[in-house]
Structure 1
């Protein structure tokens, strides 16, 4: 076993220079701090100098061996929630080891720390709670948000992910239990783009919940009150935004996550020109979906301007994607009005058309069209509009029926079918249904992962996962490094194009519309380089002097998981004598 272990880990290049780090902590507190704890990887000298000799078994282990132990334990587990609890336990004890394990198994573990398992973890937050992560700010804290931020131990935060828990994935209002989302997102900031974990701050804003089950649950950890929708809510968000930039600077990135549709769009409009902020549900989802369409364009040979897109859902994800598609069409010469005519939306009240009883909101109005006829179902909409692509973002699940998928296959030689709702049980259809019912002709992507599909004739298709983690870590890294103050939608258009370009022809033939998740660190770094180049070229960057070698600039900042040495920096004073001179 040990010989096999040595062979396996010999593939990982060794680090020739060990970084030295200074710590004021010693003894047990050093071992209880996940940022400084190395477990049994402390050397004998470190144990003696730091006052922890005897507090550990005598064996000194390498990080390689520690990683193998945890990976081996994970393989024995079958329950995703159990794996989540185990992984978060590693993070609470040994931060560098956690990220080493996560990065080396990113394809298998991303569905655990992110969608879909993180959604399950949020619903069970009160039962699996071990140690608090992030900041909890409630409506009762109005007037004191800055003092709460001062309680956060890190003084140099570059990225904040904040939620109010109203619309967690496709699960609805989970209140303070939504903390699992910003924690998971920021794990991917580090694992995918190498952003230092101490520069990341997860926040949940607790203004109550309308979830009756939680309000009756004695284990619920938030405020037992209905969600506050008064002016006090807006005042709290205003105070939070001001407190963040006052403490950490105007260049601090603030990512909004899983707010309700109305507030998501409202806050994006309100804050985007005042702060460095974006909404991942709107803009990140838009970029990853557009990237999938741009990759599909290569497979079908149809330019983006000739696509007709029908959305199932008309909320923040649908509108974000639609607006970015319009920008992509306009970039190739199509007028905005003409581009909007190629996009239709169908929600719980039917097709978005003029004159329907349900009034459309301000964000939906650009995509409200004249009625094309009597549309009573989504299948009717498909058969009437004849879309080249259908995109599901309704969060309702299983609404791309067999008849809908077959109709898409009849209307198009290569139908584009994106079932993007999360978690997996909310997906509009499965990968197997899409490939089987179109005889393998469809170009499929989902929001949550699906296994490869083998058809009866032996053909194997690997479904692409339209995962926002392809976008937000790389964009965040670029924004932080270049000092962008206001994030334009053109940044996400550039990110989408960069992601689509990284899909190889071989991967397209396998059914992929996105690069393998196993390569996401390189994907994110290449995206960061492209976005840094773009923002400097467009005069959007504020960090000067401008780096000439932007690739080297980005890669030099990437955090890695190798342990620091806590041994003191010892050296000689050559030529110095402390003996008195004699005549």
Structure 2
């Protein structure tokens, strides 16, 4: 803490402020005498006070605003609270509450937390990056707001997503908060309701498209390489065609990944790995069906191809185990409405609707990534239960209101047979005396650890073997007690340890593949653990 900063300058800087946590000695040294109440509070006592205040709020969106304000005011206390109460607070700072926060972003705006780029900044992005005060950025989460969760085009209101993701980077993996940068590529919105909102804070025009769009993204990515050469770029909530176009353009050029495609893929693959401990089936024997054929679903399938190949299957054999159903039915050869990323999964088969496809294909695992609530109907779950002793059901759409089915529905309709996982949290379910704890296939289990590992070894790129390593490492952390309750992921309160283990495994893979630019330390795990942010006073 700089000696020339005194009094209110200290109290108004959330990165250093401890409020009533400053000791008497610190108060004397920093010119804080008279500016704080007499009592010196421990961080534990402050946390109790803040938790009580948060819990008094009537609605989750009010709790979100409260936590956001605390983050601005006392960063260390905020992160200590999140880490110590992760199961309660993660749904408030990320899914599902972040969905509502994004929809209302311009209405609840209090304090700017990130960096905004509009088409008016074209040709000047590298210069305006100098306006950001931090010189050593390691993690950037960027969105253009076009496909926020299952909510669609929210324009600049989507900034809530990068802010929330980076809070999880710091809480779940210890990325230093000042090394994180949320970015909104505010290229307009086609959402008329938002454009007509007088309180809307974003670029009030229709979205730019085509060359204009990709040129702006290119300028941003190259500006980052110049300004922050060690930074990881995480692409988040882009519309499927753009998500794939940008990932394919940059994944071998810069340190980046797309969380919706690759992060979702790794956390889902990890859950499928873990499910085999319940179903007693070999992973290489599984047939997997997807409802939904967007970037999340095909991203999962692409990584699963690599996973099947690692088990000894050919590429053709791997793809034949993966089937898709979209709005127009089973994805088969001969359809003229398929996107390029769907074509590798179009099989020679008659066209069928969803229910008939289940009958015909007889999948072991059903994965929903539709954004359409209620699409796993009673009949769907009953069909899966008729062909599987333990049907594996992944209802991944976020937020909770968009889930393909609820945990209670899955267990009730399957008569307790389902192995259920969702993208957003569901409470435990007591089914006729048997307690199920549905796992949450939350990307927070994967992306913070991937990012931590890549950052700590200064990786040049991130590839599929690194995501496979992360998925296997996470699956191996699931304890037998979790499996006994139908849970396919470790407890959330173990997430920092999970992130550390994933980071070490990912960094090891980067060194093995020649992708790490820093020299390998003798004790890699200690170096990564020592880097991780500790918010305690």
> Residues 562 and 23 (structure 1 numbering): CA distance in 2 closer, same or farther, change over 3 Å?
farther
1:101 maps to 81
**Would the aligned equivalents of 2:331 and 2:351 in 1 still touch at CA under 8 Å?**
no
SS in structure 1 of the partner of residue 506 of structure 2: helix
Offset, 1:23: 4.9
Residue 240, structure 1, aligned to residue 220, structure 2: yes
Deviations 1:491-543 (A, max 9, x none): 10100000000111221111100011111111111111111222212222110
1:367 maps to 345
> Given the alignment, which residue of 97, 108, 113 partners 1:117?
97
2:193 maps to 213
2:378 maps to 402
Deviations 1:451-496 (A, max 9, x none): 00111x2111000000000000011000000111011111101000
CA distance in 2, matches of 1:556, 1:103: 17
CA distance in 2, matches of 1:341, 1:62: 59
Greater Cα radius of gyration, structure 1 or 2: 1
SS in structure 2 of the partner of residue 474 of structure 1: helix
> Residues 244 and 334 (structure 1 numbering): CA distance in 2 closer, same or farther, change over 3 Å?
same
Deviations 1:407-463 (A, max 9, x none): 0000101111000000001100000111111121111100000000111x2111000
Offset, 1:369: 0.6
Q: After the TM superposition, which residues 532-571 of structure 1 pair with which residues of structure 2 at under 5 Å, given as runs?
A: 532-544=507-519, 546-563=520-537
CA distance in 2, matches of 1:422, 1:234: 27
1:277 maps to 256
CA distance in 2, matches of 1:532, 1:327: 19
**Would the aligned equivalents of 2:141 and 2:162 in 1 still touch at CA under 8 Å?**
yes
Mind listing any 5+ residue stretches in structure 2 that lack a counterpart?
Answer: none
**Would the aligned equivalents of 2:330 and 2:351 in 1 still touch at CA under 8 Å?**
no
Offset, 1:356: 2.1
Offset, 1:77: 2.8
Offset, 1:361: 2.0
2:23 maps to 43
SS in structure 2 of the partner of residue 526 of structure 1: helix
> Residues 151 and 24 (structure 1 numbering): CA distance in 2 closer, same or farther, change over 3 Å?
farther
Residue 476, structure 1, aligned to residue 451, structure 2: yes
Residue 443, structure 1, aligned to residue 419, structure 2: yes
Residue 85, structure 1, aligned to residue 65, structure 2: yes
> Given the alignment, which residue of 491, 505, 529 partners 1:516?
491
CA distance in 2, matches of 1:515, 1:23: 44
1:411 maps to 387
Residue 391, structure 1, aligned to residue 370, structure 2: no
**Would the aligned equivalents of 2:116 and 2:186 in 1 still touch at CA under 8 Å?**
yes
Offset, 1:145: 0.7
CA distance in 2, matches of 1:155, 1:268: 26
SS in structure 2 of the partner of residue 181 of structure 1: helix
CA distance in 1, matches of 2:33, 2:189: 49
SS in structure 2 of the partner of residue 391 of structure 1: strand
CA distance in 1, matches of 2:58, 2:311: 48
CA distance in 2, matches of 1:206, 1:46: 43
Offset, 1:46: 2.3
SS in structure 1 of the partner of residue 142 of structure 2: strand
Q: Which moved more, 1:74-83 or 1:231-240?
A: 74-83
Deviations 1:88-146 (A, max 9, x none): 01001010010011111001111111111001100011111110111011111101111
Offset, 1:78: 4.0
2:467 maps to 492
2:441 maps to 466
Deviations 1:170-227 (A, max 9, x none): 0000000011000000001110111100000000011100111001100110111111
Offset, 1:50: 2.0
> Given the alignment, which residue of 341, 349, 358 partners 2:320?
341
**Would the aligned equivalents of 1:304 and 1:328 in 2 still touch at CA under 8 Å?**
no
TM-score, normalized by length of structure 1?
0.91
**Would the aligned equivalents of 2:329 and 2:351 in 1 still touch at CA under 8 Å?**
no
Q: Which moved more, 1:389-398 or 1:527-536?
A: 527-536
CA distance in 2, matches of 1:138, 1:52: 41
Residue 295, structure 1, aligned to residue 299, structure 2: no
2:290 maps to 311
SS in structure 2 of the partner of residue 418 of structure 1: strand
CA distance in 1, matches of 2:284, 2:109: 49
2:429 maps to 453
Offset, 1:45: 2.8
Deviations 1:374-421 (A, max 9, x none): 51x311111111111110001111100100000000010111100000
SS in structure 2 of the partner of residue 188 of structure 1: helix
Q: After the TM superposition, which residues 192-211 of structure 1 pair with which residues of structure 2 at under 5 Å, given as runs?
A: 192-211=172-191
CA distance in 1, matches of 2:345, 2:335: 13
Deviations 1:305-364 (A, max 9, x none): 211111001011011100111111100100010110111111112211111242x22211
CA distance in 1, matches of 2:232, 2:4: 30
Mind listing any 5+ residue stretches in structure 1 that lack a counterpart?
Answer: 1-20, 564-583
Q: Which moved more, 1:527-536 or 1:110-119?
A: 527-536
1:63 maps to 43
> Given the alignment, which residue of 180, 186, 191 partners 2:166?
186
